Amino acid sequence: MTYVEIFEVGPRDGLQNEKRLIPISEKVALVDCLSGAGFRRIEVASFVSPKWVPQMADSADVLAQITRVQGVSYAALAPNLRGFDAAVNARADEVAVFASASEGFSRANLNCSIVESLARFGPVMDAARAAGIPVRGYVSCVTDCPFDGPVAPGDVAHVVAALRDMGCYEISLGDTLGGATPDRIAAMLRAVVQELPADRLAGHYHDTGGRALENIEASLEFGLRVFDAAVGGLGGCPYAPGASGNVATETVHDWLVARGWDTGLDRDVVANAARMARAMQKGHA
């Protein structure tokens, strides 16, 4: 069987959009459960402005209180050097910078243009290199932007190339709105693989339109072997109006296993985590 990695992003992408301020103990319990499922990487924190995303304001406490499992990389978002320093102080194993392929979403999510956002990442990359911290890159709005409409594949490839040149070890391609179709994902990937090989790309597909699995299937055909997902299908980005959660980890797992792929995950533990995540969403974990 061939391995496909599911990168669990529920504790960050999933929870960041929840309106109820979730107690730290619930977040820690979810991460601790996920740590026993067999994931290699779990995104657990986000060192962004607490005014922009209040739910993530306690990220340092979450990282301090989880029980770390050897072999699991605990990841955090860092939009600028301040976020990077906070992530390192909290002992994040890796960080992620996040850019957009469209100007409208870049303004809404980062309050600056694409070029300005890339300039802010420069010092993050330098500091990460000096500290030996791996940096992942995200590109949002790889097919559609909530503000600018359809996004050209070449625009995505352009930002991918910029993040590659800065030193991101892997780049995750975000269908932020969750409205992509397999043919448009394929068109986007045809342009992107000219800049970065498939083994350094990941698919990050929100499931608003219910076609995330088909988009994963199209991406597998291009050679992608890493997909981001959130237990319980939690979440979304507060700055992407109309978008819903990430594709659910348990759904991706079952779909992959049924097609002969190995995820290395314990299905019972994933199911427990999904139950916890759904209860957190309803407000009674």
Q: Which residues are at the interface with ligand HMG (CB under 6 A)?
A: 13, 16, 46-53, 77, 79-80, 82-83, 98, 109-111, 138, 140, 174, 176, 204, 206, 237, 239
Q: Which amino acid is at 38?
A: G
Is 10:35 a contact under the CB 8 Å cutoff? Answer: no
138: which residues sit within 8 A by CB, 6+ positions away? 96, 97, 98, 99, 171, 172, 174, 204
Residue 53 contact among Mg ion, ligand HMG, none, beta carbon within 5 to 8 Å by kind: ligand HMG
Number of residues in contact with Mg ion under rule CB under 5 A:
1
Q: Does 13 bind Mg ion (CB under 5 A)?
A: yes
Residue 98 contact among Mg ion, ligand HMG, none, beta carbon within 5 to 8 Å by kind: ligand HMG
Residue nearest to Mg ion (CB): 13
Q: Does 144 bind Mg ion (CB under 5 A)?
A: no
CA distance 284 to 66: 20
Nearer to Mg ion, 80 or 100 (CB): 100
Cβ 260 to ligand HMG, closest distance in Å?
28
CA distance 92 to 78: 10
Cβ 56 to ligand HMG, closest distance in Å?
7
Q: DSSP label at 224?
A: -
Dihedrals phi, psi of 201, to nearest 5 degrees: -115, 150
CA distance 68 to 58: 17
Residue 49 contact among Mg ion, ligand HMG, none, beta carbon within 5 to 8 Å by kind: ligand HMG
Dihedrals phi, psi of 224, to nearest 5 degrees: -70, 140
Nearer to ligand HMG, 195 or 207 (CB): 207
Nearer to ligand HMG, 33 or 48 (CB): 48
Kindly list the catalytic residues: 237
Residue 155 contact among ligand HMG, Mg ion, none, beta carbon within 5 to 8 Å by kind: none
Cβ 179 to Mg ion, closest distance in Å?
13
CA distances from 165 to 113, 159, 189, 236 (A): 19, 10, 18, 28
Nearer to ligand HMG, 13 or 155 (CB): 13
Stretch that binds Mg ion, among 12-20, 82-90, 105-113, 118-126 (CB under 5 A): 12-20
CA distance 18 to 235: 7
Query: Which H helix or E strand runs over 254?
Result: helix 249-258
Point out which residues bind Mg ion (CB under 5 A). 13
